[in-house]
Amino acid sequence: MDTGLFTANNVWMMVCTGLVFFMHLGFSFLEIGLTRQKNTVNILFKNVFIICVGLLLYYIGGFNLMYPGFEEGDFGFLKFAGFGIAAPENGMTPEYADGGYTWWTDFLFQGMFAATAATIVSGAVAERIKLGSFMVFTIIYVGLIYPIVGSWQWGSGFLSSLSYGEAEGFYDFAGSTLVHSVGGWGALMAIYLLGARIGKFGDDGKPNAIPGHNLPLTAAGVLILWLGWFGFNGGSVLSADPATTSLVLVTTSLAAAAGGVSAFVTSFFAYKNFDLTMFLNGILGGLVGITAGADQMSPNEAVIIGLLAGIIIVLGVALIDRLKLDDPVGAVAVHLICGIWGTLAVGIFGQMAGLDQFLVQLAGVGAAGAFCSVTAFIILLVIKKVSGLRVSEDEELEGLDLHEHGMDAYADFRMNQH
């Protein structure tokens, strides 16, 4: 491989790393926009904490837990290559990763993914979780659970070699299961153990809307996330290969657009209004849905996957309400339910379509789901018993910004109100 191509590949991967980092601003805007003003600082603090601690944890041990170097004879479930990171002899050369990028770029790109799993949980538990308890959960979940599940596929673990009939290996291109549903399962367990926000469900059990305080920020957050997904999926090509990269960006965008349109149309027929939040979450649902097979789908198939993801969003949000679970930002519907859909879609559409592949995809979803839900439940239950998960009623009513941080996100605005 010539030096110019190697450099171009590496530069593209570094650009994608920056785009995935930028997604954390999108998540932050999305979450604060869909929640109340009095909890804005708390949500921003959690999201900044996730980035900083997630990256450090990935450096300390997460990277070597996710890419431990499984060998022939290993079961491929758990292995650890040691603490810290050190580039191998060929780490800065075209011999590393088929000339797609350097060792350092590899670490940083994968590290950006790691923090995303906890960010998904952050939105679901907004407005009522103790900050200290959330931080403890994040450290354990990002530091241990996410890289272990990732190693099963991306680290050449047992899912990557899982075969059935003509299917050879579970497939998850950029993380519908390995990133999004990992976060989604954690979010589901957390909102179950936390309980709903005060006022979310009436005495009759029917859900009450708790409007977010800044929908313009929410819209900005979703558009930033869409842009960031060009790095999330585009970087998962692991090089600047023109044909695959351009296809991935096309399928990613078409699925997002179809998901948004499908969600607002479905919502209109169900509720007789043009719901912006459903529109925006439909876009995210389409993005999550295409992530598992973005390099395997034709444009037509990407549109179908997005259209179905948009319908799933509306039904998923209604299901969460029916179960009397409180998810302020729709994280479970977007990241868990659409993550499952996208993973199974690999066995239905695209180059890998077939019953055998579908069953392997289903097995992978089941393995990740069982491990993540059980471990998340245990971690959260222990935290709940030791220090508690939920703030007091007074703290929740007055806002976490005041009680957890002693500050206000919009101090001048509040002063002017008086």
CB–CB of 325/196 below 8 Å? yes
Task: Kindly give, in sequence order, each residue whose CB lies less than 8 Å from that of residue 323, ignoring residues fewer than 6 positions away.
Answer: none
Task: Give the containing element (helix H, strand E) for 168.
Answer: strand 167-168
pTM, two decimal places: 0.96
Q: What is the CATH number of the domain that holds 237?
A: 1.10.3430.10
Distance (Å, rounded) from C-alpha 68 to C-alpha 25? 31
CA torsion angle 201 203 205 206 (round to 10): -60
pLDDT in tens, 68-94: 989 887 889 999 999 999 899 999 999
Q: In 3D, which of 141, 123, 150, 176 has the Cα closest to residue 294? A: 176
pLDDT at 199 over 50: yes
**Both tokens of residue 12?**
């593209």
What does the block give as tokens for 318?
Answer: 């209604």
* pLDDT at residue number 204: 86
pLDDT value for 72: 81
Q: What is the mean pLDDT of the chain?
A: 95
Residue type at position 395: E
For residue 254, which of 219, 300, 312 has the smallest C-alpha distance?
300
H/E run at residue 245? helix 242-271
What pLDDT sits at residue 413? 66
Structural domain for 237, as ranges: 3-417
Strands 163-164 and 167-168: antiparallel
Q: What's the number of domains the chain is made of?
A: 1
Over residues 152-170, the mean pLDDT reads: 94
Helix (H) or strand (E) holding 184: helix 182-194
The kind and range of the H/E element at 164 are strand 163-164
Least trusted range by pLDDT, from 44-53, 108-117, 350-359, 370-379: 108-117
Q: Give burial (CB, 10 Å; 0-12/13-18/19+) of 291.
A: buried
What mean pLDDT do residues 322-339 have? Answer: 97
Does residue 384 surpass a pLDDT of 70? yes
Nearest to 280 by CA among 265, 304, 263: 263
User: Residue 418: its pLDDT value, please?
Assistant: 39
* Residue where the block lists tokens 């549903």: 181
Query: Any idea what the Cα angle at residue 106 is, between residues 22 and 358, rounded to 5°?
Result: 85
Helix (H) or strand (E) holding 286: helix 276-291
Distance, in Å, from the CA atom of 255 to the CA atom of 302, rounded to the nearest integer, reads 5
CB atoms within 10 A of CB 139: 17
Sign of CA dihedral 324, 115, 153, 299: positive
Residues above pLDDT 70, as percent of the chain? 98
Whether the predicted pLDDT of 412 surpasses 80: no
CA-to-CA distance for 39 and 402, rounded, in angstroms? Answer: 8
Per-residue pLDDT, 417: 47
pLDDT digits (tens, 9 = 90+) for 215-260: 999 999 999 999 999 999 999 999 999 999 999 999 999 999 999 9
| Residues 347, 359 contacting (CB under 8 angstroms) | yes
